[in-house]
Amino acid sequence: MKFFLDTANLDEIRKGASWGIVDGVTTNPSLIAREGRPLKEQVAAICDIVDGPISAEVLSTETAAMIAEGRELAKIHKNIVVKLPLIKDGIAACAALSKEGIRVNVTLCFSPAQALIAAKAGAYFISPFVGRLDDIGHNGMDLIRQIVAIYENYDFSTQVLAASLRGPTHVIESALAGAQIGTMPLKVMEQLFNHPLTDKGLDQFLKDYGKAFGTQPAAR
Ligand code: E4P
């Protein structure tokens, strides 16, 4: 499973990248807005940190404008994946950009029917939002399972990018369901490391060695 960071914050991206487990980055207009720098400049800076797919979302909502904006975003860097919302105009733009060889991440997916449409339009990634479905009392993980099954039935090459992941359980369940990618905030990625028995075991190893040879456990 590939791990993407779901943030536009450069410090967070540098920190995650330093762990050696970040395969790409997803952004959206809300995440970019938080950083106070225009979209193109911010995603260009992200491309300098992580060598992997970097999703940049268009702000237009009509097909022709989405195509033009998608082409401009794709020029920023070879790793840019153009992100389009799952509306009719977005799907038409996805079909056009995909035919040109521009990779598209279709976002704001909340149903298997929508995911089927995105795959038919040649999407490179589909982004089903798990947490936001949970927020309204649905089971977001069911959607991941359904999409993986449907794509397998028809050998679609569209990769399932499980999004809106709010904790380690979402990540693990997405992995079990067969999602190719999980995108998550830095906080969630950090939580994946944690286990109390790891910390306890390491403390004990260092204490035992120290007692035998008189060395001080390294400060952590
Ligand atoms: C995905 O690309 C989205 O940016 C993101 O996962 C949305 O997550 P949220 O529901 O926590 O805002």
Domains in the chain, CATH or no CATH each: 2-213 (3.20.20.70)
Per-residue confidence (pLDDT) for residue 215, from 0 to 100: 78
Question: Which pLDDT belongs to residue 198?
Answer: 98
Which positions ≥6 away from 17 have C-beta within 8 Å?
Answer: 49, 50
Residues 6+ away with beta carbon under 8 Å from 3: 21, 22, 23, 181, 182, 183, 184, 189
Ligand 1 centre and the CA of 139: distance in Å?
16
For residue 215, give both structure tokens.
């060395």
Taking CA atoms only, the protein residue closest to ligand 1 atom 8 is: 164
Cα dist. 164→109, 131, 168, 204 in Å?
11, 5, 12, 37
Residue 200 appears among annotated catalytic residues: no
The Cα–Cα gap between 1 and 216 comes to 38
Q: Extract the residue ranges of the chain whose pLDDT is less than 70.
A: 216-220
Sign of CA pseudo-dihedral 43, 161, 22, 95: negative
The pTM for the full model equals: 0.96
> How much is the pLDDT for 118?
98
Closest by CA to 28, choosing from 62, 72, 69, 59, is: 59
3-state helix, strand, coil in the chain (%, to 5): 50, 15, 30
Q: Which atom of ligand 1 is nearest to the CA of 184?
A: 6
* 3-class secondary structure, 58: coil
Q: Give pLDDT, residue 114.
A: 98
| Interval between CA 207 and ligand 1 midpoint (Å) | 43
